[in-house]
Amino acid sequence: MIKVTANSNESEAQLFRRFKAKVARSGVLADARKKRWHVPKSEVRRIEEKKAARRYRRKMREQNSQP
């Protein structure tokens, strides 16, 4: 669980902004979104392969564009 204690002279808006940043960095929300529905292992593997292919194409495109 993420905890944030208020510093002296810190407004509620600043405290909330700091809390949101900690939550984003921890990956709690992203993990919860991923686990919202059951995804079969075959589907996960297929998605990861597509992501890897996309990364590879992007890398090749960047290398070809450099003189």
Residue (of 31, 26, 30, 33) closest to 4 by Cα position: 26
Structure tokens at 42: 């075959």
Q: Using one digit for the tens of pLDDT, what is the confidence trace for 32-56?
A: 998 999 999 999 999 999 999 999 9
Can you tell me the distance from the alpha carbon of 47 to that of 53, in angstroms, rounded to the nearest whole number? Answer: 10
Looking at per-residue confidence, does 34 or 21 come out higher? Answer: 21
**Percent residues over pLDDT 90 in the chain:** 82
Mean predicted lDDT score pLDDT of the chain: 93
